[in-house]
Amino acid sequence: MDVKQLKAIVTVAEVGSVTRAAELLHLVQPAVTRQIRTLEQELGVELFERTGQGMRPTGAGAIMVDRARRALNELERARAEVRPTPGKVAGIVTVGLLESTSDLLAEPLVTAIARDHPGIELRLMTAYSGHLQQWLDDGDLDLTLLYNLNSTPSLNALPLARERLWAVAPAAAGLRADRPVTFAETAEHPLVMPTSGHALRSLIDAAATRAESAMNVVVQTNSMRVQKRLVLAGHGWTVLPGIGIAEDVARGTLSAAPLSEPDVWRSIVLVTPRAGRTPPGVEVVARELVHQVNSAVTEGRWPSARLRGAEAPAGLE
């Protein structure tokens, strides 16, 4: 098994065609076919099946493609780290950002790293907390922001900040930052909710239990942007962190008020794997991400958030 074979099976899986894969790899088609067949003979299983839509990985092939992609990524990272760059930190760092924080943190993080550490190549992934944790567990992320997670034997979790959850409604509802809304009142409306199993939904479900309120969930989605669009279209209210709706409230397209009875907070943490060596590039990016979170909170750009141990700021402004 060699690198050329790994590149061949990953490329064929991505494009679904040996001919197209050969073009991308700058090889002739028989060479790509030979690399795949040689690997199949070594493993004793078929990796691809031909269909009307092209080449599709078998069950065994899907496993090999996934592992091969990770192996190639690790080799690419190693080359970037050991390439001679005296006095400079270099390498590829893949960062996970909560979807609600991406607009606030992505550009400043990229700007700072490009300015201070041009040898680092950043790769940014955004999603809900549950997806990001799975990607971290699978080795697809070097570090990520998550929420409501404690350190475990396999993960380091550094608490950074806490932020309040808000009831969000169409502008006509007239919700205001200085007038908290009880969970019971929020639950009287049709609700657009995150899908079950997501960490944000778990927080909301726990609050409903404490408030002894039954929720009328009319639709579930795994996208914060879809949540807001459905609220804007009049399908119901929703619950989101302040950072996710600050601009919408400022534009007057949505209205929002902090939840009360009970108050609902989420804890933002920076998470890294415990196992293995931490590359210098990952350490540099982790420090910069912590700095960006601290700056966003202290400068008031992260609504209703407070740093760990700090007093809560005024509401959504």
pLDDT number for residue 314: 36
Taking the alpha carbons at both ends of the chain, their separation in whole angstroms is 58
In 3-state terms the chain splits into helix, strand, coil percentages (rounded to 5) of 45, 25, 30
What is this structure's pTM? 0.69
Q: 163-265 belongs to which CATH class?
A: alpha beta
Q: 3-82 belongs to which CATH class?
A: mainly alpha
pLDDT number for residue 134: 85
**Closest to 245 in 3D by CA, of 120, 99, 117:** 99
pLDDT number for residue 223: 86
- 86, 270 contact by CB (below 8 A): no
- Using DSSP, state whether 255 is helix, strand or coil: strand
- 241, 157 contact by CB (below 8 A): no
Structural domain spans, the chain = 3-82, 91-160+267-307, 163-265
Q: Cβ of 137: how many Cβ atoms within 10 Å?
A: 12
- Using DSSP, state whether 265 is helix, strand or coil: strand
Phi, psi of 30 (to 5 degrees): -60, -30
pLDDT number for residue 80: 65
pLDDT number for residue 84: 55
Q: Write the single-letter amino acid at 244.
A: G
Same fold, 91-160+267-307 and 163-265: yes
pLDDT number for residue 311: 42
In tens digits, the chain (317 residues) has pLDDT values of: 788 889 898 999 989 888 888 888 888 888 889 889 998 888 889 999 888 778 899 999 899 998 888 888 878 777 766 665 656 788 889 999 998 899 899 999 999 999 999 989 899 999 888 888 888 888 889 999 998 887 778 888 999 999 999 999 999 999 999 999 999 999 999 999 998 877 788 899 999 999 999 999 999 998 889 999 999 999 999 999 988 898 899 899 999 999 999 999 999 999 998 876 788 889 999 999 999 999 999 998 887 889 985 443 333 33
Alpha helices in the chain, H assignment, sequence order: 3-15, 18-25, 29-43, 59-82, 102-116, 129-137, 183-187, 199-211, 224-232, 246-251, 280-298
Q: Rounded CA gap, 202 and 183, in Å? A: 15
Q: Rounded CA gap, 12 and 146, in Å? A: 34
pLDDT number for residue 129: 83
Using one digit for the tens of pLDDT, what is the confidence trace for 37-48?
998 888 889 999
**Closest to 91 in 3D by CA, of 309, 293, 277, 307:** 277
**Closest to 51 in 3D by CA, of 42, 65, 61, 66:** 61
Q: Rounded CA gap, 241 and 209, in Å? A: 19
Number of residues assigned to the chain: 317
Q: Rounded CA gap, 190 and 296, in Å? A: 33
Task: Report the topology of domain 91-160+267-307.
Answer: D-Maltodextrin-Binding Protein; domain 2 (3.40.190)
pLDDT number for residue 246: 87
